[in-house]
Every structure is written in C-alpha cells, then in structure tokens.
Amino acid sequence: MTERITIGQLYPNTIPPASPRRASNDQQTATAPRQSTFQKLLQDQYVRFSHHAEARLQERGIQLQDEQLNKISTAIDKAAAKGAKDALMLVGGNALIVNVPNRTVVTALDGNSMEEHVFTQIDSAVIIS
C-alpha cells in the first residue's frame, strides 16, 4: 500500500483535497506559520545545527550568511563523497565541527577561541573560501 505525505498530511492513494483559489486574509495568516516551518525544515535538510552549536554561535557572536551556509552544504557533500565522518570546517575565520553523515554542525568556534586550540576526534578538514 503506497501512501503520499503532503506537508504534514497523510493521504492514502488519493489526491489531496484542492486548496481554494483565493484565500481570505484569515486563511493567508493561518498558513504563514506552516510555510515558515516548511522552509526551516527544507533548510535543515542541507545543514543542521545541534543545540550545543546554536548556543556557541550565539555566545560567540558568530553569524553565518546564506552564502556561507550554501558553501558549508557543498563542503559537507564533498566530505561525504570522500567518506568523512567528523570534519573540521574553516569558514570566514570561524571553525565548525560537523558530523558529516547527519549533516549536523556539532560546535562552532570564532577566531579568538581557536588560538592554541587542539581539535580532536575529527577525520578530515575542509577549508571553505
């Protein structure tokens, strides 16, 4: 039995109900949170951040731009193709430790935190320009 999943809804072998052509303002407001959640889910498929990494990014004032996130995603693809498991990625003067199979940034360091820091339990390094 095949089933189709459509943005949080499960439809067994049927076409999902059609959405109205024109939505009222109330309906448009109601769908906005769903779209932003879907966009976040889509972004998470490229690069995820662990709770620890999010805390370190905020604590150290590291902000990654969309272009940098795209480069990190590409770097993860390349590292995965080489069989990497845990990689050190240097991007924009910052260091990220990434679990490659899960596409998850585990922790992040800024330039000041990297001084005389020894990185352990990594099997590869990627320098992103």
| Spans of all domains in the chain | 48-128
CA angle, residues 112, 56, 46, in degrees to nearest 5: 110
pTM of the predicted model, to two decimals?
Answer: 0.65
What pLDDT, on a 0 to 100 scale, did the predictor assign at position 59? Answer: 94
β-partners of residue 88 are 97, 125
**Mean pLDDT split into 10-residue runs, the chain, 129 residues:** 47 45 47 58 73 95 92 94 97 95 95 89 95
What pLDDT, on a 0 to 100 scale, did the predictor assign at position 46? Answer: 80
CA nearest neighbour of 110 among 29, 71, 55, 56: 56
Helices (H) and strands (E) in the chain, counts: 4, 7
